[in-house]
């Protein structure tokens, strides 16, 4: 279904879904995906070997509360990708506010509706103006994601629609990547495996607790799927959480067993879809998992890490966040 080889489902990506419908044309999506991936890849490759370590040593307090800290860390580290350093400080403060009030687990639920609406209005207004400024002053190559979004389509494209696409990048970087880092630390701390490669831990975290836990599609016409009759008015949902815990595809599927990734076959298992599948799979999935692995390894090398969980139930919304936990970091004797 996600591959959509026979065209039975309307092309759809939550990433490019806005209040005006589906952001099109497809060529604009592909251009944006390609340029954003290149920008992120170049940023990560240009970092000096000790830069991530220095960043985490400076940003990570001896006692920190998660998963919020994970969101803040990935956001701050990748902020130059979203907004070039020479952008307006007020625009950077706006993104800071969006992360605190819209990205963090349960952030929206903690605010009255009028405050959420006011932030949405202010965000749309200020991002639309910033996108308009970018369109009047094109840069080649693009400096940041804001440039990429601003020049992804023709001048007739609504700036408020483009602002929503930019927010998708912000939510992916600060929300999704931050939650994967938090899940990886949570599982490492609650299932101690001191000598397990961090790459296996990240993969197993993605398998057990995929941040994007449901993927919806709408049929283009009536047809039958696995014996179920579908109409064009129906919505079909694939749940990676269930697929990746299916005993038909995984041994001991509910257990945290990062050592399963020692088997090369596990990496080719088609029932592993934390980043989607087919044409709309996350184009930067490999870069995101590499960054999470690097951040996890670096955190664990900074000192003695302790994890104290404050529950075992995830926070379930559009993205699935781990239970709250406290991370302590002490210097090694």
The model's pLDDT over 287-300, given as tens digits with 9 standing for 90+, comes to: 999 999 999 999 99
What mean pLDDT value characterizes the chain?
Answer: 94
Check residue 109 and give its pLDDT.
86
Determine the Cα angle at 181 with ends 48 and 243, to 5°. Answer: 130
- Is the predicted pLDDT of residue 225 greater than 90, yes or no? no
CB 59 within 8 A of CB 73: yes
User: pLDDT tens across 6-61, in order?
Assistant: 888 887 788 998 998 889 888 999 999 999 999 999 999 999 989 999 999 999 99
Please give the helix or strand (H or E) that residue 333 lies within, else none: none
Check residue 333 and give its pLDDT.
60
Count the alpha carbons within 13 Å of 199 in the hemisphere toward its beta carbon. Answer: 9
Q: What are phi and psi of 229, to 5 degrees?
A: -80, 130
Q: Calculate mean pLDDT across residues 200-222.
A: 93
- Rounded Cα distance between 232 and 223, Å, is 8
User: pLDDT tens across 74-96, in order?
Assistant: 999 999 999 999 999 999 999 99
Task: Write the CB contacts of 51 (distance below 8 Å, at least 6 apart in sequence).
Answer: none
Task: Write the CB contacts of 131 (distance below 8 Å, at least 6 apart in sequence).
Answer: 146, 149, 150, 159, 162, 163, 166
Could you tell me the two tokens for 169?
């990048």
- Rounded Cα distance between 152 and 31, Å, is 7
User: pLDDT tens across 169-198, in order?
Assistant: 999 999 999 999 999 999 999 997 778 999
Check residue 57 and give its pLDDT.
97
- Is the predicted pLDDT of residue 282 greater than 70, yes or no? yes
User: pLDDT tens across 108-134, in order?
Assistant: 888 999 999 999 999 999 999 999 999
**Predicted TM-score of the model (pTM):** 0.95
Residue 249: how many CB atoms within 10 A of its CB? 13
- Is the predicted pLDDT of residue 155 greater than 80, yes or no? no
- Distance from first CA to last CA of the chain, Å, rounded? 54
Domain 14-330 in CATH 1.10.1200.10? The answer is no
């Amino acid at each position: 279904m996600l591959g959509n080889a026979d065209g039975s489902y309307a092309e759809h990506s939550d990433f490019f879904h806005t209040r005006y419908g589906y952001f099109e044309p497809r060529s604009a999506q592909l251009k944006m995906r390609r340029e954003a991936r290149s920008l992120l890849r170049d940023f990560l490759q240009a970092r000096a070997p000790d830069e991530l370590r220095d960043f985490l040593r400076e940003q990570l307090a001896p006692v920190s509360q998660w998963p919020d800290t994970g969101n803040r860390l990935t956001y701050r580290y990748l902020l130059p990708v979203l907004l070039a350093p020479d952008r307006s400080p007020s625009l950077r403060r706006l993104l800071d506010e969006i992360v605190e009030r819209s990205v963090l687990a349960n952030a929206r639920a903690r605010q009255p509706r009028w405050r959420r609406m006011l932030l949405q209005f202010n965000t749309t207004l200020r991002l639309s103006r910033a996108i308009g400024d970018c369109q009047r002053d094109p840069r080649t190559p693009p400096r940041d994601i804001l440039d990429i979004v601003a020049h992804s389509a023709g001048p007739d494209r609504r700036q408020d629609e483009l602002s929503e696409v930019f927010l998708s990048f912000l939510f992916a970087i600060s929300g999704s990547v931050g939650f994967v880092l938090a899940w990886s630390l949570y599982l490492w701390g609650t299932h101690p495996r001191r000598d397990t490669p961090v790459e296996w831990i990240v993969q197993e975290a993605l398998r057990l607790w995929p941040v994007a836990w449901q993927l919806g599609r709408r049929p283009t016409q009536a047809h039958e799927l696995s014996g179920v009759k579908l109409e064009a008015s129906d919505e079909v949902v694939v749940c990676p959480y269930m697929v990746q815990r299916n005993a038909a595809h995984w041994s001991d599927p509910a257990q945290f067993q990062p050592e399963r990734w020692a088997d090369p076959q596990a990496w080719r298992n088609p029932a592993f879809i934390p980043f989607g599948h087919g044409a709309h799979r996350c184009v930067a999935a490999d870069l995101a998992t590499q960054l999470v692995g690097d951040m996890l390894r670096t955190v664990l090398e900074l000192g003695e890490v302790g994890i104290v969980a404050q529950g075992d139930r995830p926070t379930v919304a559009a993205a699935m966040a781990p239970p709250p936990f406290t991370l302590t970091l002490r210097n090694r004797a």
